[in-house]
Structure 1
Amino acid sequence: MTRRLIVVLALAATLVLVCAATWRIAWRRGIDALQQQAAVRADRTVRSLGDTLERYESLSYLVASHPVVGEALDTGAPDAIARANRYLEDANTHAHADVAYIIRADGLCLSASNWNRPDSFVGSQYRFRPYFIDAMRARVGRFFGIGTVSHVPGYYISQPVYRNGRIVGAAVVKLNLEWFPGTDANEPLFVADKHGVIFLSSVREWKYRAVRDLPSSAAAAIEEARQYADEPITSLAIRPVRTLDAPDAQIVRVGARRFSPYYLLTQRALGMPQWQLMTLAPVESVLDDARNATAAVGSAFVSLCLLGFYWRMRRARLRDIMKGRALLQKAYAELNQRVEERTADLSAANAQLQTEVAERTRAENELRAAHEELLQTSKLAALGQMAAGITHELNQPLAALRTFSDNTRVLIERGALTDARENLEAIGELTDRMGKITNQLKLFVGRAQPHSALSFVVRALRNALHLLQKRLQRVTLEVRLCERQSLPDPQAAQTFGAANGYRPMDVATDHPSLAAYCDDLRLEQALINLIANALDALEPVAAPRLIVDLDVAEEALSITVRDNGPGIPADVLPRVFEPFFTTKQTGKGLGLGLAIVSSIARDCGGSLAARNDTGGGAAFVLTLRRAQTSGSATTTTVTTSATSATSAASPGTQADETSAGPR
């Protein structure tokens, strides 16, 4: 018992020593790697900032050397100052600096790149600024501070301006360096001036805080130069914890709290501006790695000890195993017999499985053949739908072509060549429309992605009415406009008129503000189908009446086509938008019009709804996304009622027209 206790204590002491050594090695390696990464980051940042400052220092020298600047500071003439303003504005725009300006020898700013802005520096006094004092002493001035006029922090670079061998003022370029530190709060980075005051920091709360105690003389100099305006300068608690081999790196804790985080502090001097760049890299990952390494080594040591104990116990059990070997040999013989029996069963099952595989292969071949036949049938059905859609959509333009051609013949016989030329131009436009329709109808078989094309609603409505003017002669047509904050529910808006804010609208007048996200041709195509569908429903009505309402809201635009026809039967209403569904007589409609309009509405991000009005008749509501535009549309006069609709064709020249969809 005593021997076993001594062994356990010795192993425990060894475990402690191994864990301590592992911790120290892992900590040292982690700190070295972190220190190397921090040094690379600090050097790269110093080079980047140094290159930027050096580049803009050359800009200040070029501004100071320009003769326009010297003339303005020396003479003070208004025209010279105006030329200097234009030169500074152009130079600042191309150099992407914040502000460029020049200061007279008495400290007054005469000209600046922001001369025409409310926060212009022109007329401001800068005698107290250190960069002006350095320039008047024939030195390059470098200074970071908060602007006295713009109240925006920036880096100022000044150069003396010589005129005939004497200094007549200073040229200054201001840079905005707020972009430099970035926003990485995990690895803070900040820049402190020669007094130790932080003015650039990736942690916003650390700006204008001192990394060391600020002497009274330094505080007085900052106050006199108004370097940081009215920003209070407080201390940032950075407590050293451990020094490292490198002189510019140490382990610190940031903050006054008891459990403040540990960081690796790396410092770099920026040279000419006498700034200090400080980077903080959290050492928590190094601590975690050291803990994990210590835990892994400790676990491995304990595992080895347990393995040793297991090995000793296993040797004790070998004796018992030898005794049971005889019994195992007997059991082995019995096992061989069972294996032979099971092998016979598996052979029989394998033969049955091969039979099932052959059956599955045959069924799969039959399924593949059926699938190919179904695919060919689907292709033929799609071609049939495309042919039917093209036939349906070309009926309206073909009827219009017949009407225009008859009118042209009559006009030529009468000698009205101007009107005949207009009809021929309309025939050309209809021919282009037919070509576009054949392309647009592809969207019915294969959907197109929505796009952001704009269409003026009134112009599209005017073109649709113009195309259907023959059929509109016997119908009382009324176009109304209602502007409201939000569109009503199409199913709930059963009434219309003055109570809903509608007012008569003349479609001969353009309304550029009524624009929707939809292609011109597709919107005209939808309106033609809806109006033609309503005209088909009005054929048996004695006093037909057609109303087109435009409801306008901030983000949506609704077009409602109403008629006083017999309405839509309740059993038909759920199926009116199905392709090839129609209640009309054979030959008077293909049942594609409303399906095409519904497809156009969906592709444009809108919707199409159908209902029966309480006063009788049917109403179709096309809702589209409204486009905010200030453009203008082309004005074309179109008659909007049956009493004013006229035509140059003879009564017998009207072409037959096909219905635009199911009712």
Structure 2
Amino acid sequence: MLAWSLSWQTGVDALRRNAAVRNDRTTAALKSTLERYESLPYLVGAHPLVQDVLADPKADWVAQANRYLEDVNRHARATTTYIIRADGLCIAASNWRGSDSFVGVEYRFRPYFIEAAKGGVGRFFGIGTISHDPGYYISQPVRRNGKIVGVAVVKLNLEWFPGSDASEPLLVTDDHGVIFLSSVPAWKYRTVRPLQADVVASIDETRQYARQDIAPLPVSVERVLEGGADIVRIGSGLRAPRYLETRRGLGEPDWHLVTMSPVDPVLDAARNVTIMTGFGYVSVCLLAFYWRMRRARVREVLRSRAMLQKAYAMLNDRVAERTADLSQANERLQREVAERTRTEAELRATQDELIQASKLAALGQMAAGITHELNQPLAALRSFSDNTRVFLERGQYDAAHENLEAIGSLTERMGKIVNQLKLFVGRAKPKSQRSPVARALRNALALLGKRLEGVGIALTITDGDAASAPLDPHGEYPELVAQCEDLRLEQVLINLIGNALDAVAGMSAPRIAIDVRALPATIEISVGDNGPGIPADVMPRLFEPFFTTKEMGQGLGLGLAISSSIARDCGGTLAAHNVADGGACFVLTLRRTRVNAALAATNGSAMSPAEANAAGNTAAAGNPSAGNPTPPANDAHH
């Protein structure tokens, strides 16, 4: 309790010192602003033009007075400057040009007018009846030949005040206890104490706070401290914040500056000090206990040493009869050591076998992955070889020659697939190559031609911010060149489209949308479907190797992992998300390569015979003797 009390008192004293510094700084800033404008109404009222127009409001004099007040207000940087006749009617104002002009408005109900009309200085804070903006009003009587002919008023906007230092709640109350300036907007126009009925009537009569609903602030005093400070709680309940409330009067006007310093940090510090003190006390107690136990152990050791010395003397007499027992025990110990040595050797051999088995398991996984990736090219080889046999039987040697070239291209492709899996495992960086996106899409769709039957395919292209347009399947689009190797881009597209086909399998109206978006630095290829989407628990593990949601034998979980690795190696990304109206969408982003006209003609012009044959292989589906490639299902998907 002593540690708590000392820490609490120290923290409260620090809060009070900081609050005093803030009060000094804020009070000085506020009083400096008010005092700077204190004499402005008097100077305005001393001008002969103002005196004359209040005594005799001629039209040309009123116009001159409006311009004069406008000029004075602009140079003084006040909110509004205006003059009121002795009967309470405003005849000239600095805002005479605006729709919210004060000209022609009666103010004899305002306390600042009443006070100045009696010959004093009026000071008043309220909400404007015309502008509905809060402000501080300073008024001075205007005398002409010793007679009060009107009142000069300056309105100041003090809304800057809370923004000067809002790290802790800071507020200003008027003489009735109404909060009219606060760093917490919700506290404005609340009262720190209940208002009496006559005070409420006076506020309503003077329209001081317009239509604001003035209600008490839910503040309760928990502890009264010395020096005019209290511990208060704002709100109700155990979690209501507590503050150290300090007050300071501003003198003239009769306002009070209230600083609310949160005491939670002080409570936390006191709690931490108490806990540290408790730990320290427990540590001292443990240290004393340890020291006592150590002394007892030393005494026990000394007593044991004396007993051992006595026993040693007795044992010397029995050494001879115990020699045989020791020899036998030594022999048993040697046998145990030999047994333990043999056991350790067997353990090391077992560990070596486990390491070798782990290597064989990893090799089996890689072999399964290679088999999975080679299924599609092998199926295409079967289709091309069947077509070639038919073409030879028909005597179509040109078509057979093109099929043989396609078989050679696919054989090279199979070799590259094995190399890509090697790159996936070893994280090797491929050479920077350019790949026309349109050609890669055609090749991918050709390999998946059989599976695409009965599925709605929408191909669109967007160039920059222009509207989307259908993608011509026979167009070359030489400007759409991605920074990626041809085979690797086709491999990613085959995986994404194949996964989309798996997702829409069994849907009543299966649809797949492929959108190519060309940006200045990148090319985005989106593959979306109207399938069931990706479950939330699958999304974090979607690109993990060997993770799949398909049944045994339907996929090894390598397709998306390899595709993600290819995208990263090419400096791009592969991401997935669910679509709001159903289905999933995979977005492949690659760096865009700018090519000149000559390079475009070389890189994106006519397809090779193998590519043309692959793209048109689907058309041969009408020939019963021509096989069509039906690639196996790809890896883990939604």
**TM-score w.r.t. structure 1 length?**
0.46
